Amino acid sequence: MFQIDETHAPSLRSWVASANGHADFPIQNLPLGSFTPLGRPPRGGIAIGDQILDLAALAASGLLQGEAQVAAEAGAGGTLNPLLALGAAPRRALRRAVSALLAEGAPARPELLHKAADCTMNLPAQVGDYTDFYAGIHHATNVGKLFRPDNPLLPNYKYVPIGYHGRASSLRPSGGEVKRPLGQRKPPEGAPVLAASQRLDYEMELGIWVGAGNALGAPVAIDQAASHIAGYSVFNDWSARDLQAWEYQPLGPFLAKSFHSTVSAWIVTPEALAPFRAAQAPRPDGDPQPLPYLWSEADQQNGALALDLEVLISTTKMREAGLAPHRLSLGSALNMYWTPAQLLAHHTINGCNLAPGDLLGTGTISSPEREGFGSLLELTDGGKSPISLPNGETRTFLEDGDEVLMRVRAHRDGFAPIGFGECRGTIMG
């Protein structure tokens, strides 16, 4: 499933000079996205350094054959759903063909490229349904402790990959403004009031893009689940904690989440991530064995992802003073209690049909250590312990003008490091 081939060679360089040594998009990455060149219709593309390879132009170029050409044609439109629907083999063929085309030594074809800075990035796919999981066990523990100090994890947590349906319409690509939501909040005394959220937070997650779908009534077996995943993005599940606390019983989070969710613009494929697969951490003694529909030897051996998860903040005052964004946390995706394949298998066990371009959030991923906590709720002990910023400002929750910047990066000895590109948003009052 996750094979290493010539496209991963660390020595591989591109005739696109900016790709060589690029922190996110060297030739070993080749993530998929949807972009709009100035004054032209949206189309699919592949990031390479500070350029974007135009899949519509590539499909029309006559340079590709076979499955790679089929994939380029499917990616030539305004959303990547048709390309995602094709599944792994055409996607892999496209990767190999594009890698050869962009490699140093191949004829330079600048007519297929756009400067990324001149383009607008779109949501990569039209998301039919978005689901958010809760797979970050340290996050679930930290949040649970705020309510139940002695018994933070509910009894189902280690059996059920907990998740809930989210709102697809308010998903937006990285870069926009995020309007602080109005909502009901219950003060400690007295009746609830309608007001702008005072406890606005981010959540550091991975987004998982569904590739080939499944029919209603036909669960995806755990051994097949990874083949239904088309790639990954950085995902910020903005959360209004005060709205959530008042509204969420008994049916779960609703308006506390649905005002806006931000996803990074590029889909990093399972092929690009092949070198960064890892074994799922062994469950601690006493934790139950997953039920058979969630357990596969192969998935346990390489179904996890060794990815660094970084969150930074830049306040209005920091920007005015010329200060660089300040790191709030650095964690790892290895802290997920369930693999992406387990999440997908669980989602379909009841027969629920997933479709190409559906998005699954992992839930907030926190490390056991404070430096890897993936939300302000955790970093500030539920808003009780403000954090300090380099210019002397403090924060419990987000203030207007705060920009949150998330990055995901992968590195491993013997391989070229790659990154996911930014997931960025600025709070607006």
Q: Which positions are catalytic?
A: 139
Using rule CB under 8 A, residue 250 touches a second copy: yes
Smaller CB distance to a second copy: residue 71 or 341? 341
Following DSSP, what letter does each residue of 26-74 receive, concatenated? -TTT--EEEEEETTS--EEEEEETTEEEEHHHHHHTT---HHHHHHHHH
Does 351 help bind a second copy (rule: CB under 8 A)?
Answer: yes
Shortest distance, position 46 Cβ to a second copy, whole Å: 28
Is residue 356 close enough to count as binding a second copy by CB under 8 A? no
Give CA angle at 417 (415, 422), nearest 5°: 160
Of 39, 110, 150, 191, which one interacts with a second copy (CB under 8 A)? 191
CB-CB contact of 90 with 84 (8 Å): no
CA atoms within 13 A on the CB side of 281: 15
The window from 87-95, 178-186, 318-326, 394-402 that contacts a second copy (CB under 8 A) reads 178-186
Q: How far is CA 92 from CA 10, 54, 84, 217, 234, in A?
A: 18, 17, 11, 29, 22
Decide: 230 and 204 in contact? Cβ < 8 Å: no
Residue 19 identity: A
Q: Is 182 one of the binding residues for a second copy (CB under 8 A)?
A: yes
Q: Which of 80, 88, 76 is nearest to 127 (CA)?
A: 80
Contact between 259 and a second copy per CB under 8 A: yes
Q: Which of residues 92-131 bind a second copy (CB under 8 A)?
A: 128-129
- Told to check if 61 binds a second copy by CB under 8 A, we report no
List the one residue from 248, 274, 279, 317 that touches a second copy (CB under 8 A): 248
CB of 254 to a second copy, least distance (A): 5
C-alpha 262/C-alpha 174 separation (Å) is: 6
In the set 35, 134, 235, 397, which binds a second copy (CB under 8 A)?
134
Which residues would be at the binding site for a second copy (CB under 8 A)? 128-129, 132, 134, 154-156, 159-160, 162-170, 172, 179, 181-184, 186, 191-194, 216-217, 219, 240, 243, 246-256, 258-260, 288, 291-293, 346-347, 349-355, 358
